[in-house]
Amino acid sequence: MTIIFFIKSSSVDISNYNIKDLTGTTGRLDVIIRCILAALFNDDGFEKDLQIWVFLDNYGTYIFNTDLLDYNNFHKNELMLADYFVDLIQKKEQRLSVINNPLSSVKILKTDILDSLVQFQKLKYSIYVLMEGGEDFFNYLQEIQLKENVLFVVGSQIGDFINSRELLSMKFPEISLGTQSYLASSVIRLIKLYLLKFV
């Protein structure tokens, strides 16, 4: 099974980035970093056949693909990963300058999230939107486990895109992990747990 997570942020702003205050100086880039770590890793290393696409309104789209990343050089520490990600964003127009950055194999695109969803629809991916108030995830679990290619749209801390008219008009199934509120990174971990461990 190939699993892709989409997460979008309109708030990330690194113009005043300070590694000593990641939460306060980046428009909550820390949330994105935790989602990346939650998506990519399992107990033994990288997940297989897994990607997380990070859509940053101000900086483009970043594709973290476990098939292309180097596990031995990839930082598992939140602050170090954030520092390298900021470096990648700042130097994205000069890819040669990030050659020593462990994220140099992260693909950078200019596509927006809606266009990307349309493309994955054409590729026959099964697409689900994770949101509070959606239908019970466990009602879909067996169906999802039988899919070869699955994509999950994960809400950010603001949730503006998840509730947008544009996304709702695409009529993807909306699913929820229950009545309890979870951080986006916890949602990703739980989805992986049920799809990759409990099969």
Domains of the chain, earliest start first = 2-109 (3.40.1280.10), 113-197 (3.40.1280.10)
Per the prediction, the chain carries an average pLDDT of: 89
Q: In this structure, what DSSP letter does residue 16 have?
A: T
pTM passes above 0.75: yes
pLDDT at 137 over 80: yes
> Do 31 and 157 touch, CB atoms closer than 8 A?
yes
